Structure 1
Amino acid sequence: MSTEDLPKPSGPAGGWGSLRSITRIFGHAGTEAAALDTLRRQNKPGGFMCMSCAWPKPANYHPFEFCENGAKMTLWELTSHRCGPEFLADHTVTELREWKDHDLEKEGRLTAPMRYDAVTDRYLEVSWEEAFADIAGTLNRLDPDSVVFYASGHAGLEASYLYALFARLYGTNNLPQSSNMCHETTSVGLKKVIGSPVGTIVWEDLEQTDLLMFFGQNPGTNSPRFLHPMKALKDRGGHIISFNPMREQGLVSFVDPQNPADMLTGRETTLSDQYHQVRAGGDVGALMGLCKAVIEADDAALAEGSARVIDAAFLEEHTTGFDDFAAVVRETPWADIQTASGLTEAALREAADLYMSTDKVIAAYGMGLTQQAHGWLNVAMLTNLMLMRGNIGRTGAGITPVRGHSNVQGQRTVGIAEKADLVPMDKLRDLFGFEPPQKDGMHIVDAVEGLAEGRVKAMISLGGNLVRAVPDRDLMERHWPQQELTVSVATKLNRSHLFPGKTAYILPCLSRAEEDIQATGNQAVSVEDSFAMIHGSCGHRTPASDRLKSELAIVAGLANATLPPNPKVTWDEWTADYGRVRDLIEATYPDDFRAFNARMNQPGGFHRNIAAHRREWETESGRAEFTKPERLDSLDFGDRPGRYRLVTVRSNDQFNTTIYGYSDRFRGIEGTRDVVLMCEADIAEAGLRRDQPVTMICDFEDGVDRRLSGMRVIPYDLPRGTIVSYFPECNVLIPIGHHDKLSKTPASKSIPVRLEPA
């Protein structure tokens, strides 16, 4: 089979393909034409902040400051379709379990609060007052430690702050969040080595950098607005190096939809100067190779008496542990590095040469690094590489984890955290006159294990589709309905709603793009982006139903019904005026939110107080810390015949668990998601053929049979032993215990599987 037979992208990232894809979703969702005016306001001061990824919003914005993925999310959310009480009365929950995820959401916006009725197996309409009172009654019968308050990463800072306050007033720190499943490795890993749990760059650094290095991050699908600064870098003569098992179109070429000349001529910008297809789980080895080339060059420079390659002055003033790290690097053979990474010594030296010859470097990474069994070591090794030449904490240089959900980082900032020491409990005590719980709460992995063991009795979900999003899907679907209470705050129907607890509610909320009218008028909310910039957001669309409440109003309503009166806790006043909540946030986190209300609509946002950005290291040693690696891969399993490393990915037609359609144009996969992508050599060695049906079987030996049938083999350009299929379908194959060793982030980017012909 020739490479001509392999699936191919329909075109570069951006360009007419992007516009056609947006137009298709516009028609598919039945979105009203007036929603196009909403796109005009997206990611601009006075408008609303995108509900998709957490990519920053520049002060000098484009006329259309949205990307393909952000536009799809907005149009999908502002659909004219309605999933009202009539629809839910016409369909049993058992029947709806047979529907596809895409079809459930396509029914449209939820319009009224609903309670599950086990007798009829249907959701029935209730009043908000009934819902709040019934939920409160159940909560007050339960041990607070048996209740989990989950947040998806969407709700604004104001609702998130009150949600965390509600949980702690109730008596628990069980506040897991969607970062537990994606970038918790960053929060733990970066905090350990540089003292800051988030990235170190701001927008101006992007404008002045000379080299971008990507590791396990796909901007074309996950953060398309990143493509504009990437193009700007190439236009000014800079370079891009990418490390990723798949050749992703968003790292290969781009046609700028904002540039009329590019659109008319089809002129493409070639993005990656070098593209290295590292093995799944091989990033530690690749980073070791880069570090080894740098140290060898520095050793040679010392021997010759020429200028140092490493930034010795920076290392002396700001770091610790370099000598021990360098000793391990020198002792590691190139042959072992090549085996672990799947890359040649020559390829790694080529990348290292460009790194060493460039003064200002930014390293961007995504879940390809974090969702590994030793993902913390991936993050630490990348930090090692950047520290050697002083590429953290100065203009044009730094490290940037690219976050997925629009406020996933901000929710952590304002208190949605299961670890008690991450929250200023003394401030909460003084502000609200209560004794906050001091015991750490449950991580999402703990919560799933608690479900299986019967320790978790209730789950409140502020957004999200948790049953579908977490590993061990069969375990989740089996145990989720055994809870005493399940509550979901949502805009649309999703699979989690189809596994109701003994008492179960769906509470429909406003979209961020919609007006949020309270006693003092239309309310603004705020979010934090990946660069730790805070932005105001104000919706202008007419709500999908007059029975919807804002996320903040729902949180306050639940808390008001559940908790005893407290003169310092004024839920009604906070609901009437969100500015009062921002005052509370400022009082709780004064360094980060100084003059919050006055600055929230500042173009480009205002920056939180990130110490590592200023080369201040809030680590145990007070310095940036080099990490001595003890392994060359990030796996918790070994290779053996017939075992593959499965990487789960998202398509061009989805956001997290939201499936817009079945067109993954960047990978040339159309009309289906039931595929497994393999290199031709692996297909031949396994005795398989193109389009052959197979079953993927988890190859962990823990006594649990996990399998996904009906998959079709597609030849693809991938490293040997690495195969690829889609999230969330493949979650059924992931054991809940297959996670990063420090952060417990599920290791969804290297799952041991074998294939069985159908």
Structure 2
Amino acid sequence: MADQENRGPDAEAPTLPEPREYEHAAGGWGSVQGISRIELAEMAGPGALDTLKEQNKPGGYMCSSCAWTKPPNPHPFEFCENGAKATLWDLTTRRCGPEFFARHTVSELAARSDYELEQVGRLTHPMRYDAATDKYVETGWDEAFAAIGAKLNELDPKSVTFYASGKAGLEASYLYALFARIYGHNNLPDSSNMCHETTSVGLKKVVGSPVGTCQLEDLEHCDAIFYLGQNPGTNSPRILHPLKDAVKRGCKIVVFNPLREKGLVEFTDPQNPIQMTVGKPTKMNHMYLQVRSGGDIAALMGVMKRVIERDEMAQAAGEKRVLDTAFIEQHTNGLPAFLDTLKGTSWSSIEKNSGIARTDLEAAGDVYADAKNVIGIYGMGLTQHVHGSQAIGMLVNLLLLGGNMGRKGAGCSPIRGHSNVQGQRTVGITEKTALAPVDKYRELFGVETPEEDGNTTVDFLEGVIDGSAKGFVGLGGNLAKAVPDHARIHPCWRDLELTVHIATRLNKTHCMPGKESWILPCLVRAEKDMQESGNQQVSIEDSFSHIYGSIGKREPASEHLLSETAIVCRMAKATVPANPRVKWDEWQGDYAKIRNLIAQSFPQEFHDMNVRMDQPGGFYRGNPAHERIWKTDSGRAEFTDPSVLNSCGIGDADGRFHLVTLRSNDQFNTTIYGHSDRLRGLKGSRMIVMMSPQDIVNHGLREGQVISLATDTDGRDDFHRSVAGLEVVPYDLPRGTLAGYFPELNALVPLWYHDRLSKTPASKGIPVRVLA
């Protein structure tokens, strides 16, 4: 391919294609129209509107989409576009029952896209895979649980993995973890392994907490926000309200992200009649720095170079220092080593690795130096890299310099995805034995649990490939589609002896049945969960560590559905030996008794849980780092001395790009609601690759051309990974950075290409080459 830089001096420069963009603000009438489109498509009915009115409010239903907080004083409409889509999707009138499965073989269904599969509607009956006909056939619940329990008892427990998607409430999650350990393993990965596990590991290493240190009210007192690698307009739109309020009172938001995501550019509040009619959108950012893929470490180093320079200038002038020296001396460890590294890092290296000019990084450093209170907010754009843990360390370094940790208006705030993914980890769904309440299991139930750590998701997938994994139980999700390295993993998935799927809709993973396979349909959170003691509440945890009660009021999609909690209880009862202290039937009949177990297992955090979870704003389970108590090895917050300047695991080379995978505006994880990525000005096919106009020209490509991407492993393995049929779309991106959709491009991620500490797939910096 011809490169424009090699053309002769007299050659006429080609016209650059115009990058796609959305011409309006985030929010506004576009959000209203987006909700209306899904409501009409799903025909969810009047009950869905009643659910939306109560969504994220005390005494109501807590959204099954993102984990953003549920404020004590909610807006009239306390839901966002994607939260409404998730509710309407759950409450569809479409049905996927036995008659549908009778008409289609699994091989036929496997050829459909996830969108097409989920469009069939809600699952209505438990189904068993019949290999002779290659179809799922209707079964009864008793038959299903008896057969699953028998098969689990045939298998070595350590060859079985219990996966959780991040949506199930704390009650089902606590019992799921208990079931796994009584059965005989700690193989309890969840969707955090696929997304935010780097926070759980990396943040804990430096401040002693696996979760964010901020509270919602901190956003009311900050002067600056450093916002990295997250798209709030699509992934957590309700955060735009407190961000808008912060901007209006003078807070400066500095954004680091490869794409100019509209939610951090301008926002029209759908709940503000004036702004929706005659008003102007709120400009959201003070600076928007389009960092190249993996360039956050270098960018933050540049910001801190300026902060240190400003501190030195203040000392020379006899003014108040920028660094909080009292905090650093009392609460931190490792600053001298980091300062030596910072001093020895050249500006040229910082600019090259970040893709951002020195003047812009210095201006960002000035924002930090001039602020009294700074919050760092980040998403998976920061963490889903081979050195994502170090990137978290760099953000924490920046916050520690000014003492911006563990006080009002300051701290570190990761934005979580699934509504209860953080809570599932809190109550025991973890492969790490040290994080499980094993002593309480012994005290409460008289059981001894396995001592060795279990499988992460990557460990499980390696077992699928080499044959050591024999069984898979999925508490929600579409794991086979969400994972990396499809060409290696998918052919082996059907060799599993047992696959069990607790689900609400049909998806691609169900179309890869093991030798014995079951689909167990469950209620959605907005539906009534009638048990012996009445309609049951469940509880969830948000990304600020607040716990809320949630109750469904809609009629179930089918009389044959069971709750996630009931399914776990009945499967466990059919599998593990009877124990008079393990009361599966009693717990299924009254979820308050499960919450009592949670309170007994975690008394400091969950005491009086049944009383406190229904108070407005939920209850805060606490966070030592919020109180400047550091649960680290040193007992102090740790400065990180970085070993790299770019967090991608494979560096630059001629012709190599780094690919960032994204969600669209019509998507939640692997669930595709439609084919409109409105906030990026895109619609139609998801088989696209976004590329800077200059890169398109320089590589001899053209807008609309269909290309393939192939993984460039730099010789680290010889397996060929590629995705074909991708249309070139011009987009405002840094040179050398590409973007495309998750999960369609997951096939390009090698299983071994993950964060060094957490094993989270490095899906935001995949090394690829373009094949025309």
TM-score (norm 1): 0.99
> How far is the alpha carbon of 1:301 from its aligned partner?
2.5
> Are 2:110 and 1:97 aligned?
yes
How many residue pairs end up in the alignment?
757
> Are 2:648 and 1:642 aligned?
no
Aligned to 1:360: 373
- Structure 2 Cα separation of the partners of residues 84 and 37 of structure 1: 26
Aligned to 1:326: 339
Q: What pairs with 1:305-704 in structure 2 (closer than 5 Å)?
A: 305-700=318-713, 701=715, 702-704=717-719
> Are 2:79 and 1:66 aligned?
yes
> Are 2:191 and 1:186 aligned?
no
- Structure 2 Cα separation of the partners of residues 671 and 530 of structure 1: 33
- Structure 1 Cα separation of the partners of residues 736 and 458 of structure 2: 28
Calculate percent identity across the aligned residue pairs: 57
- Structure 1 Cα separation of the partners of residues 699 and 147 of structure 2: 56
> Are 2:747 and 1:732 aligned?
yes
Aligned to 2:232: 219
Q: What pairs with 1:251-270 in structure 2 (closer than 5 Å)?
A: 251-270=264-283
Residue 561 and residue 537 in structure 1: after superposition, are their counterparts in 2 closer, same or farther (change >3 A)? same
- Structure 2 Cα separation of the partners of residues 108 and 265 of structure 1: 40
- Structure 2 Cα separation of the partners of residues 100 and 466 of structure 1: 15
Aligned to 1:750: 765
Verify the 8 A CA contact 1:10 1:17 in the aligned structure 2.
no
Verify the 8 A CA contact 2:16 2:694 in the aligned structure 1.
no
- Structure 1 Cα separation of the partners of residues 600 and 223 of structure 2: 40
- Structure 2 Cα separation of the partners of residues 501 and 64 of structure 1: 44
2:737 to 722, 741, 753: 722
> How far is the alpha carbon of 1:10 from its aligned partner?
4.5
Deviations 1:336-391 (A, max 9, x none): 10011000110001111011111111110000111000000000000000000011
Gaps in structure 1 of 5+ consecutive residues: none
- Structure 1 Cα separation of the partners of residues 17 and 603 of structure 2: 59
Further displaced range: 519-528 or 603-612? 603-612
Q: Which amino acid aligns with 2:734?
A: P
Q: 3-state DSSP class of the match of 2:116?
A: helix
- Structure 2 Cα separation of the partners of residues 635 and 263 of structure 1: 41
Deviations 1:697-748 (A, max 9, x none): 1111311111111001011111010000000000111110000001101000
Verify the 8 A CA contact 1:10 1:665 in the aligned structure 2.
no
- Structure 1 Cα separation of the partners of residues 489 and 37 of structure 2: 34
1:301 to 314, 318, 327: 314
Aligned to 2:9: none
Aligned to 2:3: none
Verify the 8 A CA contact 1:484 1:503 in the aligned structure 2.
yes
> How far is the alpha carbon of 1:293 from its aligned partner?
0.8
Verify the 8 A CA contact 2:17 2:730 in the aligned structure 1.
no
Aligned to 2:11: none
> How far is the alpha carbon of 1:4 from its aligned partner?
8.2
> How far is the alpha carbon of 1:203 from its aligned partner?
1.2
Q: 3-state DSSP class of the match of 1:729?
A: coil
> How far is the alpha carbon of 1:302 from its aligned partner?
2.6
Q: 3-state DSSP class of the match of 2:46?
A: coil
Deviations 1:318-337 (A, max 9, x none): 11111111111111111110
Further displaced range: 301-310 or 356-365? 301-310
Q: What pairs with 1:241-280 in structure 2 (closer than 5 Å)?
A: 241-280=254-293
- Structure 2 Cα separation of the partners of residues 4 and 728 of structure 1: 27
Q: Which amino acid aligns with 2:402?
A: R
Verify the 8 A CA contact 1:15 1:266 in the aligned structure 2.
no
1:160 to 173, 188, 209: 173
Q: 3-state DSSP class of the match of 1:736?
A: coil
> How far is the alpha carbon of 1:34 from its aligned partner?
2.3
Q: What pairs with 1:125-204 in structure 2 (closer than 5 Å)?
A: 125-204=138-217
Q: Which amino acid aligns with 1:124?
A: V
Verify the 8 A CA contact 1:280 1:647 in the aligned structure 2.
yes
- Structure 2 Cα separation of the partners of residues 484 and 85 of structure 1: 24
1:284 to 297, 310, 322: 297
Residue 239 and residue 474 in structure 1: after superposition, are their counterparts in 2 closer, same or farther (change >3 A)? same
Residue 527 and residue 389 in structure 1: after superposition, are their counterparts in 2 closer, same or farther (change >3 A)? same
- Structure 1 Cα separation of the partners of residues 560 and 613 of structure 2: 29
Deviations 1:91-111 (A, max 9, x none): 111111111111110111000
Let me know the Cα RMSD of the aligned residues.
1.0
- Structure 2 Cα separation of the partners of residues 9 and 58 of structure 1: 30
Deviations 1:546-599 (A, max 9, x none): 000000000001000001110100000000000000000000001110110010
Q: Which amino acid aligns with 1:272?
A: N
Verify the 8 A CA contact 1:663 1:671 in the aligned structure 2.
yes
> How far is the alpha carbon of 1:2 from its aligned partner?
6.6
Deviations 1:179-203 (A, max 9, x none): 0111110000111000000000111
- Structure 1 Cα separation of the partners of residues 747 and 340 of structure 2: 42
TM-score (norm 2): 0.97
- Structure 1 Cα separation of the partners of residues 275 and 307 of structure 2: 38
Verify the 8 A CA contact 1:491 1:510 in the aligned structure 2.
yes
Q: Which amino acid aligns with 2:605?
A: D
> How far is the alpha carbon of 1:429 from its aligned partner?
0.7
Deviations 1:598-644 (A, max 9, x none): 10111111111200000110111111011111211112112111110
> Are 2:127 and 1:114 aligned?
yes
> How far is the alpha carbon of 1:300 from its aligned partner?
2.6
Residue 397 and residue 3 in structure 1: after superposition, are their counterparts in 2 closer, same or farther (change >3 A)? farther
> How far is the alpha carbon of 1:475 from its aligned partner?
2.0
1:206 to 216, 219, 225: 219
